[in-house]
């Protein structure tokens, strides 16, 4: 049985924690879109000490010795970032080998000129800047769509790689210079290209055949989404989005598997909302409360360290994410962060230019002026951190959760009360209904 994990809000919902928790139940963990703009945190407690891993490109299953991890064709890979991540994991004692990390030969490469272009284009946008992670994500996907990108498979044929790199570097340099930037050093790029080829080639293979063949043999897939529904290039708050399909369709196109193979779909959602970068955020809190949530939830970007904007739970978005992705269930995270609050708001609709709606508008400008319509619930003001049994949650927390689930239109398969694996309430009966008999350690 396969399972997809999807972000429902603007990212950083805790996808890494949920994937890490589930990974021992699956044979293969697959990243299928995005790049190292993602930062997925995994906390493992060993001998009383927390070890923290932030995964950017490598699937969050990598710390489990039995997992095979796949970087699918829909991902954009910066070879430098990937090599650094591999080195970092090895330093922490995690084995990364051509056997447990497979890279799709169809995945496109992020090259240094993409990063330089990301910076130039953002600075030209001025006050309309997207607030990208400056990782070259947009420019790399642009080259993919313009049919001039280089792919991981190109790293397996060095003479042809060098030729393609040279042509692309010249083209990119003329654009960079035109935009007032500095050209990148072509000779350095060619030298780096040879080195990347040598180090990464053993991992590169046709993962489309691999995943379909393994699936046919009965091996199970855990599909790990990056970013989130509201950052999706089609369904998010365009143009304040990322450049890939982070909604469920991306799992098929980005892994090369048919829709029927995606299996169960679970959306990860915070008990409140956060956003990094620019763009509309109707329930954003600009006051001390927003700062308190940021401090308690440690809401700073796992990739860029930027403070995350914080606000109330938005049920309009939650319902939209359930609809667009066909979510079977939700994994609610960070309930513990709300423990101290006397009152908690839930956004149940928007008022846009005087008109009430319960739908996400297509236009970012309309979303920007949307005033949230709130329902207020009493807080529980008791600690929930670490609770792993639903019945032990304060009654008011149970009532809050029931209302969130009702408004979102999906049940909670997981309720997370802390960053660690065991700080999780799991509805095993609900998962069993979807054919997922989980062993959780």
Q: Which residues sit at the interface with Mg ion, rule CB under 5 A?
A: 12, 39, 302
Which region among 78-86, 374-382, 392-400, 416-424 touches ligand GDP (by CB under 6 A)? 416-424
Question: Whole-angstrom Cα distance, residue 269 to residue 141?
Answer: 27
Question: Whole-angstrom Cα distance, residue 273 to residue 266?
Answer: 18
CA angle 419-421-427, nearest 5°? 110
Picked from ligand IMO, ligand GDP, Mg ion, none, the partner binding residue 337 (CB below 5 to 8 A depending on kind) is ligand GDP
Tell me whether residue 173 or residue 424 sits nearer to ligand GDP (CB atom). 424
Picked from Mg ion, ligand IMO, ligand GDP, none, the partner binding residue 419 (CB below 5 to 8 A depending on kind) is ligand GDP
Place of tokens 């997370």: 416
Picked from ligand GDP, Mg ion, ligand IMO, none, the partner binding residue 107 (CB below 5 to 8 A depending on kind) is none
**How far is CA 234 from each of CA 44, 186, 229, 239, 298, rounded to the nearest angstrom?**
35, 35, 9, 9, 30
Tell me whether residue 59 or residue 79 sits nearer to ligand IMO (CB atom). 59
Nearest partner of 360 among 322, 417, 405, judged by Cα: 322
CB of 276 to Mg ion, least distance (A): 8
Picked from ligand GDP, Mg ion, ligand IMO, none, the partner binding residue 336 (CB below 5 to 8 A depending on kind) is ligand GDP
Q: Is 209 exposed, middle or buried (0-12, 13-18, 19+ CB in 10 A)?
A: exposed
Query: Which 300-359 residues touch ligand GDP, going by CB under 6 A?
Result: 302, 333-334, 336-337
Is 17 one of the binding residues for ligand GDP (CB under 6 A)? yes
Tell me the two tokens of residue 110.
Answer: 């992020």
Torsion of CA 113, 114, 120, 122, to 10 degrees: -170
Tell me the two tokens of residue 353.
Answer: 């230019």
Is 235 one of the binding residues for ligand IMO (CB under 6 A)? no
CB of 43 to ligand GDP, least distance (A): 5
Picked from Mg ion, ligand IMO, ligand GDP, none, the partner binding residue 113 (CB below 5 to 8 A depending on kind) is none
CB 313 within 8 A of CB 272: yes
Which region among 4-12, 318-326, 388-396, 410-418 touches ligand IMO (by CB under 6 A)? 4-12
CB of 264 to ligand GDP, least distance (A): 18
Which region among 10-18, 180-188, 250-258, 283-291 touches ligand GDP (by CB under 6 A)? 10-18
Tell me whether residue 205 or residue 417 sits nearer to ligand GDP (CB atom). 417
Tell me whether residue 117 or residue 155 sits nearer to ligand IMO (CB atom). 117
CB 271 within 8 A of CB 60: no
In sequence order, the 6+-apart residues with CB closer than 8 A to the CB of 191 are none
377 pairs with which residues across the strands? 344
Question: Whole-angstrom Cα distance, residue 368 to residue 345?
Answer: 19
Of 59, 72, 138, 256, which lies in the binding site for ligand IMO, with binding defined by CB under 6 A? 138
Is 316 one of the binding residues for ligand IMO (CB under 6 A)? no
Catalytic residue among 20, 27, 40, 328: 40
Question: Whole-angstrom Cα distance, residue 23 to residue 53?
Answer: 15
Is 421 one of the binding residues for ligand GDP (CB under 6 A)? no
Q: Is 46 exposed, middle or buried (0-12, 13-18, 19+ CB in 10 A)?
A: exposed
CB of 377 to ligand IMO, least distance (A): 27
CB of 34 to ligand GDP, least distance (A): 10
Of 3, 6, 30, 40, which lies in the binding site for ligand GDP, with binding defined by CB under 6 A? 40
CB of 40 to Mg ion, least distance (A): 6
Is 137 one of the binding residues for ligand IMO (CB under 6 A)? yes
Q: Is 118 a catalytic residue?
A: no
Q: Is 292 a catalytic residue?
A: no
Tell me whether residue 372 or residue 418 sits nearer to ligand GDP (CB atom). 418
Is 242 one of the binding residues for ligand IMO (CB under 6 A)? yes
Is 273 one of the binding residues for ligand IMO (CB under 6 A)? no
Residues that bind ligand GDP (CB under 6 A): 7, 11-17, 39-41, 43, 298, 302, 333-334, 336-337, 416-419
Residues that bind ligand IMO (CB under 6 A): 7, 10-12, 37-40, 130-133, 135, 137-138, 226-228, 231, 242-243, 276-277, 302
Catalytic site positions: 12, 40
């Amino acid at each position: 049985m396969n399972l997809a994990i999807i972000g429902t809000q603007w990212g950083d919902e805790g996808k890494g924690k949920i994937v890490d928790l589930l990974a021992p139940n699956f044979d293969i963990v697959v990243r299928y879109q995005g790049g190292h703009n993602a930062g997925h945190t995994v906390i493992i407690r060993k001998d009383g000490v927390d070890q923290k891993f932030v995964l950017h490109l490598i699937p969050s299953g990598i710390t489990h010795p039995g997992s095979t991890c796949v970087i699918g064709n829909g991902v954009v890979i910066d070879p430098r970032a990937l090599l650094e991540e591999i080195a970092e994991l090895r330093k922490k004692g995690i084995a990364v080998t051509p056997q447990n990390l497979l890279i799709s030969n169809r995945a496109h490469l992020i090259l240094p000129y993409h990063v330089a272009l990301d910076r130039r284009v953002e600075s030209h946008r001025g006050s309309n800047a997207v607030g990208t992670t400056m990782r070259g994500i947009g420019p790399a996907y642009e080259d993919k769509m313009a049919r001039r990108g280089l792919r991981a498979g190109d790293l397996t044929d060095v003479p042809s790689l060098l030729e393609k790199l040279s042509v692309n570097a010249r083209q990119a340099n003329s654009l960079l210079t035109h935009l007032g930037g500095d050209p990148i050093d072509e000779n350095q790029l060619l030298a780096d290209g040879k080195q990347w080829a040598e180090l990464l080639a053993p991992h590169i293979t046709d993962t489309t055949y691999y995943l379909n063949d393994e699936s046919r043999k009965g091996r199970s897939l855990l599909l790990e989404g990056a970013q989130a529904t509201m950052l999706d290039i089609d369904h998010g708050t365009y143009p304040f989005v990322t450049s890939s399909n982070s909604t469920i369709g991306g799992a098929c196109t980005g892994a090369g598997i048919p829709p029927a193979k995606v299996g169960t779909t679970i959306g990860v959602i915070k008990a409140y909302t956060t956003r990094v970068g620019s763009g509309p955020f109707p329930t954003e809190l600009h006051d001390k409360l927003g700062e308190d949530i940021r401090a308690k939830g440690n809401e700073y970007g796992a990739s860029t360290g930027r403070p995350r904007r914080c606000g109330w739970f938005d049920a309009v978005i939650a319902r939209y994410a359930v609809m667009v992705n066909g979510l079977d269930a939700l994994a609610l995270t960070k309930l513990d962060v709300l423990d101290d609050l006397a009152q908690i708001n839930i956004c149940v609709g928007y008022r846009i230019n005087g008109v009430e709606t319960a739908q996400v508008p297509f236009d970012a400008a309309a979303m920007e002026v949307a005033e949230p319509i709130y329902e207020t619930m009493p807080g529980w003001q008791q600690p929930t951190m670490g609770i792993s049994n639903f019945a032990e949650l304060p009654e008011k927390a149970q009532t809050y959760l029931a209302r969130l689930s009702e408004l979102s239109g999906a049940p909670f398969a997981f309720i997370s009360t802390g960053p660690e694996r065991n700080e999780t309430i799991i509805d095993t009966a609900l998962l069993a209904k979807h054919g997922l008999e989980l062993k959780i350690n």
